[in-house]
Amino acid sequence: MGPGPINADPRVLRAMSAQLLGQYDPAMTAYMTETMGLYREVFRTANEQTLLIDGTSRAGIEAALVSMIEPGDRVLVPVFGRFGHLLREIAERSGAEVHVREAEWGTVFTPEQIEQAVIETEPKILAVVHGDTSTTMAQPLDELGAICREHGVIFYTDVTASLAGNTFETDAWGLDAVTAGLQKCLAGPSGSAPATFSPRAVELINARKSIEAGIRSDGDEVRATPIRSNYFDLAMIFDYWGSKRLNHHTEATSMLYGSRECARLLVDEGIDNAVERHRMHGGAMLEGLRGLGLEIFGDVSHKMNNVTAVYIPDAVSGDAVRGELLDDFGIEIGTSFGPLHGKVWRIGTMGYNARKDTVLTTLAAFEQVLRRAGASVTAGGGVGAAYDFYADEAAGANAGEAAGADVREAELADLERAGL
């Protein structure tokens, strides 16, 4: 129950145990094409270039940034947590002139603040994290696409922590490049980075295409300053996933099976339903922690559904409590980084672990461990508050259904009156 990685869905683990295939086996190329289609639904995009980067989430970040940044390009990075610092670091290593704006941990930026920074720095690329697990905050992105279009800026985001657990729209929000990972709300293991690129981003990347020696054909362009990474050269990776099937790396077959299954399960559930599931169980965890008498960190109105940070009570050692939860109950919760280190625990309700039983069991165990450690917690307050939250949700859903039934009855009565 930490901020990721989490338990994988057993169906994903099963898919990963299938036999390997050669990368030009028609079954394999069909899986690749099918996986592109499934991730278009997960990312909510029509982008042709929707594919997997082999490696953990930061492989996706690195592929996107190193392929789009030419040395000397200006990149704006609004930082509101640890992973904003990572974007800055990767952009700098890619040779960019990076401009940073910082928000206090536990808060996010307003669109006006970001537009102001865009005007001041005139970047080629705006690179911003969507949900940052280090602070639990989700930066609102829905108004930033229009700002980027107006100022001719390429808009990139890292949705590793947020995708499938929080509303996210690649096309409707005007994103040009988006990268993710499996080990958070996608219920898979780390090791594959789903990503999508708009036609604008693809044009920019393909303008830098320089096919490597050994697989080059006559007429292929060779550039003096190719993309700085071969492994993460998206221009070549697009040709590998596209109809050319130009050879690049050996696809990580088992990870492809796992990634495909993560997306298949989400599409089967419905992306909106998956987000709703995270909202419900994350809400129950939040109310349960409050019910224990604990204080929540950060601006809760901008908190991601799938992770909650809670202050460590003065009386207890954060690491000792985490150790006991793990040893005695087999439950892992997260520590924290940077300015929050030693101050908060981070508790996830994501992917396969966004369930009622995991929420209630964690709250019950947490109460006992906290009390033994010397914290004053409300007896039964955690599980009780979570139960109340679930009951309110169910009553709300029933009221909604009842209201829906009234509408349907009224419609039927109208039809009857009209003689239909």
Ligand X SMILES: *Cc1c(COP(=O)(O)O)cnc(C)c1O
Closer residue to ligand X (CB): 208 or 322? 322
Q: Tell which one of 160, 210, 259, 353 touches ligand X (CB under 6 A).
A: 160
| Residue 346 labeled ligand binder | yes
Q: Which of 363, 387, 360 is nearest to 377 (CA)?
A: 363
Q: Tell which one of 190, 198, 353, 362 touches ligand X (CB under 6 A).
A: 190
Eight-state DSSP code of residue 378: -
Closer residue to ligand X (CB): 43 or 390? 43
**Contacts of 391 by beta carbon, 8 Å cutoff, 6+ apart:** none
By the rule CB under 6 A, 161 interacts with ligand X: yes
How many binding residues for ligand X (CB under 6 A)?
A: 13
Q: What is the distance between the alpha carbons of residues 155 and 164, in angstroms, rounded to a whole number? A: 20
Question: Judging by DSSP bridges, how do beta strands 177-179 and 192-197 pair with one another?
Answer: antiparallel
Largest separation between any pair of C-alpha atoms in the chain:
77
Backbone angles phi, psi at 156, to 5 degrees: -115, 140
| Stretch binding ligand X (CB under 6 A), from 97-105, 158-166, 339-347, 394-402 | 158-166
Q: Which residue type sits at 328? A: D
Q: Tell which one of 2, 38, 54, 58 touches ligand X (CB under 6 A).
A: 58
Q: How far is the CB of 129 from ligand X (least distance, A)?
A: 5
Question: Residue 307 in contact with residue 3, Cβ under 8 Å?
Answer: yes
Q: How far is the CB of 130 from ligand X (least distance, A)?
A: 7
Q: How far is the CB of 45 from ligand X (least distance, A)?
A: 19
Q: Tell which one of 35, 94, 133, 157 touches ligand X (CB under 6 A).
A: 133
Would you tell me how many other CB atoms lie within 10 Å of the CB of residue 68? 26
SS3 content of the chain, % helix, strand, coil (to 5): 45, 15, 40
Q: How far is the CB of 122 from ligand X (least distance, A)?
A: 26
Footprint on residues 250-289 left by ligand X (CB under 6 A): none
Task: Classify residue 231 by burial, with Cβ atoms within 10 Å: 0-12, 13-18, 19+.
Answer: middle
Q: What is the distance between the alpha carbons of residues 57 and 161, in angstroms, rounded to a whole number? A: 10
Q: Tell which one of 78, 181, 258, 291 touches ligand X (CB under 6 A).
A: 181
Q: Tell which one of 158, 251, 261, 367 touches ligand X (CB under 6 A).
A: 158
By the rule CB under 6 A, 132 interacts with ligand X: yes
For the chain, the residue count is 420
| Stretch binding ligand X (CB under 6 A), from 89-97, 154-162, 275-283, 311-319 | 154-162
By the rule CB under 6 A, 349 interacts with ligand X: no
Q: Tell which one of 49, 50, 56, 306 touches ligand X (CB under 6 A).
A: 56
Q: What is the distance between the alpha carbons of residues 267 and 184, in angstroms, rounded to a whole number? A: 16
By the rule CB under 6 A, 310 interacts with ligand X: no
Footprint on residues 91-130 left by ligand X (CB under 6 A): 129
Closer residue to ligand X (CB): 129 or 331? 129
**Contacts of 177 by beta carbon, 8 Å cutoff, 6+ apart:** 64, 68, 154, 155, 156, 157, 195, 196, 197, 198, 201
Tokens 């940073």 label which residue?
A: 100
Per-residue binding letters, 1-40, with ligand X (x by CB under 6 A): ---x------------------------------------
Tokens 């392929």 label which residue?
A: 67
| Stretch binding ligand X (CB under 6 A), from 54-62, 197-205, 314-322, 327-335 | 54-62
Q: Is 320 helix (H, G, I), strand (E, B) or coil?
A: helix
Question: Residue 105 in contact with residue 340, Cβ under 8 Å?
Answer: yes
| Stretch binding ligand X (CB under 6 A), from 63-71, 95-103, 155-163, 342-350 | 155-163
The annotation places the binding site for substrate at 346
Q: Which residues bind ligand X (CB under 6 A)?
A: 4, 56-58, 83, 129, 132-133, 158, 160-161, 181, 190
The annotation places the binding site at 346
